């Protein structure tokens, strides 16, 4: 078992190989995401096909959402892999321009928003050409998936590699000169959880529009009626997915911030923090569905559905991200300061010591 674990453990790579491996794995992930979004978009559309300009809007929104999540993931991911010794760079760390700190909250989220807007504009313009070629014909699932992978995926991969490279360089510079630290809770809730939750609120607003924009509003007897039951049916699944994605991801961000000396705890870490809070959130997911229904009438408007779903995502992600970042910072600090405990001596070892 130990040999298998050792064989599967990631090995240090030169920077070029590291970026190439991430591009390959990221490309596979982008294709899977394109299949999921394409299937979801066409499954709720009339005749399971999108109009040409709806296709362009979906591609642009998917590209923006992917980059909005991908930029901070890649910056933190590059820094984390560098701290673990998985990236080998022979050249000395380059000097950063004055004020160029990739993990400073203003820089991190301004660049995230800027690259997301750029990816959306590029993807929409390219998808608009596809819309012109379609000449009024609707796009089936295969066309939607191909457009998402080829247009949104390209921008996502390019941005990911740039952000990951900057994360590597950031960690190498920070190991020589640690940046000024801030209180761990302030970093977790204000600098990380709040902007991440706002982003997910916007993403889920777009998903709500994508899911329900072709439903009939105000008529509960219509074939595709927009009802409270249809809106809240998958709320528990959404909450579980958000916990599963953001809890481990943002925890690793807290670990990186702690290891780079960017956060300081209010009191020394006396013990590691377990994942119990996230288990409770998953259990609470099955309560949030009916509670979300209380905010909706029997036949809600599309606008109200979008607002409720986005607010729900905002609240859940805000709690998850804040708790996960604090947990990561505490556990990383504890691991760095804990005194190793010598293993207990077994009777066999004692007997061998006596014979020796």
0.75 exceeded by pTM: yes
Mean pLDDT taken over the chain: 83
What is the DSSP code (8-state) at residue 224?
T
Main-chain phi, psi angles of 14, to 5 degrees: -60, 155
User: What's the pLDDT score for residue 197?
Assistant: 95
Q: Is the pLDDT of residue 179 over 70?
A: no
Higher per-residue confidence, 344 vs 198: 198
User: What's the pLDDT score for residue 96?
Assistant: 58
CB atoms within 10 A of CB 65: 24
In a domain? residue 194:
yes
Model confidence at 195, pLDDT cuts 50, 70, 90, reads very high
In three-state secondary structure terms, 273 is coil
User: Among 160, 177, 194, which residue terminates a domain?
Assistant: 177
Per-residue pLDDT, averaged over 338-354, amounts to 47
User: Tell me: the pLDDT tens digits for 17-60?
Assistant: 998 998 888 889 888 988 988 888 888 777 778 888 888 888 89
Same-domain check for residues 206 and 266: yes
Residue 85 belongs to domain spanning: 10-177
Same-domain check for residues 38 and 170: yes
Q: Which H helix or E strand runs over 131?
A: helix 105-134
In a domain? residue 346:
no
**How many domains is the chain built from?**
2
User: Tell me: the pLDDT tens digits for 84-136?
Assistant: 989 988 877 765 555 578 889 999 999 999 999 999 998 898 888 888 888 78
Tell me if 234 sits within 8 A of 291, measured CB to CB: no
Same-domain check for residues 163 and 197: no
Considering the chain, what percentage of its residues have pLDDT values greater than 70?
87
């Amino acid at each position: 078992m130990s040999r298998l674990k050792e064989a599967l453990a990631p090995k240090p790579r030169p920077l070029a190989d590291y970026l190439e491996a991430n591009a390959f794995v990221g490309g596979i992930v982008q294709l899977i995401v394109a299949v999921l979004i394409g299937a979801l978009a066409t499954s709720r559309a009339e005749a399971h096909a999108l109009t040409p300009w709806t296709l362009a809007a979906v591609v642009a929104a998917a590209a923006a959402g992917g980059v909005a999540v991908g930029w901070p993931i890649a910056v933190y991911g590059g820094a984390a892999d560098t701290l673990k010794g998985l990236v080998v760079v022979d050249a000395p760390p380059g000097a950063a321009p004055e004020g160029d700190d990739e993990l400073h909250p203003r820089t991190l989220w301004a660049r995230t928003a800027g690259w997301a807007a750029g990816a959306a504009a590029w993807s929409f313009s390219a998808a608009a050409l596809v819309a012109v070629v379609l000449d009024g014909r609707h796009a089936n699932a295969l066309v939607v998936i191909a457009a998402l992978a080829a247009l949104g995926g390209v921008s996502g991969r390019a941005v990911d590699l740039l952000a990951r490279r900057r994360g590597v360089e950031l960690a190498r510079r920070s190991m020589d000169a640690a940046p000024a630290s801030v209180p761990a809770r302030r970093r977790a809730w204000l600098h990380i959880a709040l902007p991440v939750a706002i982003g997910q609120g916007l993403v889920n607003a777009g998903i709500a529009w994508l899911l329900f924009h072709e439903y009939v509003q105000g008529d509960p007897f219509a074939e595709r009626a927009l009802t409270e039951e249809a809106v809240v049916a998958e709320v528990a699944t959404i909450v579980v997915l958000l916990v599963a994605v953001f809890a481990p991801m943002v925890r690793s961000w807290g670990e990186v911030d702690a290891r780079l000396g960017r956060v300081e705890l209010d009191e020394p870490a006396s013990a590691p923090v377990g994942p119990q809070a996230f288990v409770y959130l998953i259990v609470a997911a099955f309560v949030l569905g009916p509670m979300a229904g209380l905010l909706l009438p029997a036949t809600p408007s599309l606008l109200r559905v979008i607002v409720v779903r986005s607010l729900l995502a905002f609240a859940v992600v805000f709690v998850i991200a804040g708790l996960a970042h604090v947990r990561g910072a505490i556990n990383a600090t504890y691991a760095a300061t804990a005194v190793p405990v010598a293993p207990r001596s077994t009777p066999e070892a004692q007997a061998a010591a006596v014979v020796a």
